[in-house]
Amino acid sequence: MIKPHGSESLNPLFVMDKEQREKLINEANGLRSVTVCSAAAANAVMLGSGYFNPLTGYMNLDDALSVADNMKTSDGTFFPVPILNLLESADGIEANTKIALKDPNIDGNPVIAVQEVKKIEHMTEEQKEHIAEKVFGTLDGEHPGVKTFLSSGNAVVSGPVQVLNFSYFETDFPETFRTAYQIREEIAKAGWEKVVAFQTRNPMHRAHEELCKMAKDSVNADGILIHMLLGKLKAGDIPADVRDACIRKMVELYFPENTVLITGYGFDMLYAGPREAVLHALFRQNCGCTHLIVGRDHAGVGSYYGPFDAQTIFDEQVPEGSLEIEIFKADHTAYSKKLNKVVMMSRVENHTKEDFVFLSGTKVREMLSNGESLPEEFARPEVAAILGKYYQSIK
């Protein structure tokens, strides 16, 4: 199996041993505690799951600035985005002590991790804006990722973490949430060597379905990892449980048996476009995948990024040899009325825009809310039925 990023074996930061974990939970009760922001809690889940291998905890300010500028930590470890614990205030927290990190996303704020504090630093507004501009490519306050980052605290608390649970992801999505080490185990059990990963924060329509099949056939892969984001999204995005139901129905009916793993990961969407595409590649390598599909406007939002910026970053900015996973570059896919099948638009000749079946997101929502059927060339009817039920419930 492909090696994890940055180490010979995966080193998840979740405390596996039950006895040791219970001992640490008891110890946490006597520690100074802070309720972290949702982004820091999601970082803890990803660190605990092994997705952010080889990191051992939250980055310090030098690391964050170095990652923003060069996609490398100060010790040279390749990483595309800063992984931080930003607090509104670090008053009362001292270096070389342990603190209990409390989860903001669960009632009662249980402890999600114990952090060994190495440094407490203050990020200036100039430094914060510099990081935001490098990572997100913009300082526009309407950008959801920029808005979240700039509104978080300026106290940078860095150091190793020991993760005690996976927040609400494990309990709310027991059939879907999987850690990187669990996915590696499932890939090994299936006997797969080549695995194509598909990232999604949306339900999958016909074009997505066919893109996964195209990529699998193109690289002669043994299987497909459909890996959906389960964390916080922007307003208007479809909830994770609805997406999950849609994807499961599609795979059940339209993919060959035993060719797809349906899984999800616990992280809040950054909407960082190219930089987030690189992060997606890094943690899919940690999952055991050999290829990641990167399509048009991958991890983007609005018109902040060019349609293929998330592909060209791998050629222009990611240092050679930084990652072992390969990128399957995809163009827009759509149903061709001429060929009666879904195609990659750049690979067919003698087509005009009218020869493809296109529906805007607005049009799809409008049709489903009104109880109308979507064209079968666009969406599988069983999937459209699940989406229609959701949209009519919120109308």
- Tell me the mean pLDDT in the region 143-168: 97
Predicted confidence (pLDDT) per residue in 63-82, tens digit: 999 999 999 999 999 999 99
Predicted confidence (pLDDT) per residue in 232-250, tens digit: 877 778 888 999 999 999 9
Q: Which residue out of 202, 248, 296, 365 is catalytically annotated?
A: 202
* CATH 3.40.50.10420 given to domain 174-265+273-394: no
Contacts of 391 by beta carbon, 8 Å cutoff, 6+ apart: 365, 368, 369
Q: Quick one: pLDDT at residue 244? A: 93
Q: Quick one: pLDDT at residue 188? A: 97
Q: Which two tokens stand for residue 134?
A: 């490098």
Predicted confidence (pLDDT) per residue in 190-227, tens digit: 999 999 999 998 889 899 999 999 999 999 999 999 99
Annotation says 202 is catalytic: yes
Contacts of 217 by beta carbon, 8 Å cutoff, 6+ apart: none
Res. 88: pLDDT tops 80: yes
Measuring CA to CA, which residue among 298, 79, 71, 283 is closest to residue 200?
A: 298
Q: Quick one: pLDDT at residue 208? A: 93
Strands 32-35 and 326-329: unpaired
Residue 48 phi, psi (nearest 5): -65, -35
- Tell me the mean pLDDT in the region 297-307: 94
Give the predicted TM-score (pTM) of the model.
0.95
Where do we find the tokens 């048009």?
A: 296
Which CATH architecture fits 18-167? Roll (3.10)
What is the pLDDT of the chain when averaged over all its residues?
Answer: 95
Start and end residues for every CATH 3.10.400.10 domain found in the chain: 18-167
Q: Which residue out of 11, 21, 154, 201 is catalytically annotated?
A: 201
Predicted confidence (pLDDT) per residue in 346-364, tens digit: 888 999 888 898 887 778 8
Q: Quick one: pLDDT at residue 332? A: 83
CB-CB contact of 344 with 330 (8 Å): yes
Annotation says 296 is catalytic: no
Please provide the size of the chain in residues. 395
Angle between helices 381-394 and 361-369 (to 10 degrees): 80
Strands 223-229 and 195-200: parallel
Q: What is the largest CA-CA distance in the chain?
A: 70
Taking residue 101's Cβ as centre, other Cβ atoms within 10 Å add up to 28
Measuring CA to CA, which residue among 323, 291, 47 is closest to residue 180?
A: 47
Quickly state the pLDDT bin for 118 (edges 50, 70, 90): very high
CB-CB contact of 166 with 49 (8 Å): yes
Angle at CA 181, nearest 5°, toward 175 and 182? 25
pLDDT > 70 in the chain, percent: 100
Res. 330: pLDDT tops 80: yes
DSSP assignments along 144-157, one per residue: HHHHHHHTS-SEEE
Start and end residues for every CATH 3.40.50.620 domain found in the chain: 174-265+273-394
CB-CB contact of 225 with 215 (8 Å): no
Least confident of 6-20, 233-247, 315-329: 233-247
Strands 98-102 and 111-116: antiparallel
